[in-house]
Chains A and B, each alone.
Chain A
């Protein structure tokens, strides 16, 4: 098929396509809307966060406790912060015993701050199963426990 023939065939097809009509489709429409307000819930924080110094005289520890909110979360996130640094740990219990070994295992520099005399702040958040977290609870302070004549003897409240 020569080029001229191809051009003619294409032209004829184009004319035929232009002549073929597409049936028009039309319909009436009517609209109605239904409005609702959706609000996302909030994860309630733990309440009544307190600190109690526990342990022996030579090896003290600070037990931070809190009350579970309603509804109870899946778990709690405890944040220990001070001197511009912070570290977190999570637990399903409603208390955390803060010891030198715990702090050293979380973040060495935090333990160094404690040993250096810095007071650390401990706060708790509720964690929903979805991962949403609550606002932090009130913070409680912990510091190095000093035993007269022997130096540091663990962690205490205050």
Chain B
């Protein structure tokens, strides 16, 4: 006796739909994983040759930079009275490397404070160089130049300065500057 079975097409129920969606989702996940793993697993082996050689040995040596100062004409500043000026000539010699310019400054140690004016060159003429200002000219390596220094006791100096004295320092600062 045969068993007759008859299957009739029936619309899928809610459970079947959930199953189908789950399968599709799983398939997508697997595809994503495979695609993500491909670069990791499919890298080809590679190698390059290289060659190197030292071109030459080079010594790197930093330069030196210095200054020597002296009085070419020593200023006699004894017994100055108000309104009086005295001059001195300073000599600046560069030692070391590079081109350079200079700045000048003045400092006092004592009650008497004459006004100090700087003139580039051996005579106190022309345009003075203000204290702290950079010299107008650039000098060569090892060059020597002169600065005329004028000391003036101001006309309005206080009477209490009579017979007093002070140390006056002129400081020269050389700076390495391109020409």
A133 to B177, CA, bound (A): 50
Q: Does B88 contact A (CB under 8 A)?
A: yes
In the assembled complex, which residues on chain A have CB atoms less than 8 Å from the CB atom of B81?
40-41, 128, 130, 132
Interface residues of A, count at CB 8 A: 23
Q: Is the contact region of chain A dominated by helix, strand, or loop, or is it mixed?
A: strand
Q: Mark A59-92, 1 if CB is under 8 A from B, else 0.
A: 0000000000000000000000000000000000
In the assembled complex, which residues on chain A have CB atoms less than 8 Å from the CB atom of B65?
28-30
Known interface pairs A29-B174, A41-B81, A128-B82; A36-B155 also in contact (CB < 8 Å): no
Interface pair A38/B166, CB less than 8 Å apart? yes
Q: Mark B58-78, 1 if CB is under 8 A from A, else 0.
A: 000001011111110011011
Interface pair A40/B164, CB less than 8 Å apart? yes
- Which listed residue, B71, B83, B112, touches A39 by the CB 8 Å rule? B112
In the assembled complex, which residues on chain B have CB atoms less than 8 Å from the CB atom of A131?
82, 159
Known interface pairs A37-B165, A40-B81; A30-B159 also in contact (CB < 8 Å): no
Q: Does A42 contact B (CB under 8 A)?
A: yes
In the assembled complex, which residues on chain A have CB atoms less than 8 Å from the CB atom of B177?
27
A92 to B124, CA, bound (A): 36
Known interface pairs A32-B69, A128-B82; A38-B162 also in contact (CB < 8 Å): no
Interface pair B172/A40, CB less than 8 Å apart? no
Interface pair A27/B166, CB less than 8 Å apart? no
Interface pair A30/B67, CB less than 8 Å apart? yes
8 residue pairs, one from A and one from B, having the closest CB atoms: A130-B82, A32-B69, A39-B165, A41-B79, A38-B77, A28-B65, A28-B176, A30-B67
